[in-house]
Structure 1
Amino acid sequence: MNVDADRDDRDLEAELASPSAGQIGIPVDAVCVGCGRTRVKRASLEEIDQGEADPTTLEATACTSFKHVCYPCQGATWWNPVAILTGLLESERGE
């Protein structure tokens, strides 16, 4: 499901390019369970319990929470995926 278009008027590409998004994994829009902040993070398929799944057809509801840094919370916290950002994924792949 491609839900990349202007999520809350955020610049998802800039969020993904930020070092705080991470370097490895697919782009996921996720909510920090500590502070409730929603940001683009990278998560590997293994981190979200999806193993060999095709990320372009993956639904966020099928994914598990994953640990990632939250700067406002000042440490690693759990993040709940709310969307797989397939548009960003496809643009990275040059599709």
Structure 2
Amino acid sequence: MSTDADRGDRDGRDLAAELASAAAGQVGIPVDAICVGCGRTRVKRARLEEIDQHPQVDPTSLEATDCTSFKHVCYRCGGATWWNPIAVLTGLLERERGE
């Protein structure tokens, strides 16, 4: 299981602020992902089905390697591009759930 609970941030980035941004999306689990177009890494939300997971799976048990690429907006590229998950942000997910 990937976890971000102890780090708080990654490479000087504020993951919670990125997740709160409209650019992250509104539906899905938080993942840290890299845009295949420009190489930018950002927190995005992805529905379980988008990352090729059963909708009933416990997302806290997922590893980034379990997840497939998904399409999401990249503002730097100027449109929808493919993003590769590099971490499932379980700490942010648990925080949202109040755990």
* TM-score normalized with structure 1 length: 0.97
Question: How many residue pairs are counted as aligned between the two chains?
Answer: 95
Q: Which residue of structure 1 aligns with residue 17 of structure 2?
A: 14
2:62 aligned residue (58, 64, 67): 58
5+ residue gaps, structure 1 = none
CA RMSD of aligned residues (A): 0.8
* TM-score normalized with structure 2 length: 0.93
8 Å CA contact 2:71–2:82 kept in 1: the answer is yes
8 Å CA contact 2:4–2:92 kept in 1: the answer is no
Runs of 4+ in 1 over 4 A off after TM superposition: none
Identity of aligned residues (%): 77
Q: Does 1:70 align with 2:70?
A: no
User: Aligned to 2:49, what secondary structure does the other structure show?
Assistant: coil
Q: Does 1:26 align with 2:25?
A: no
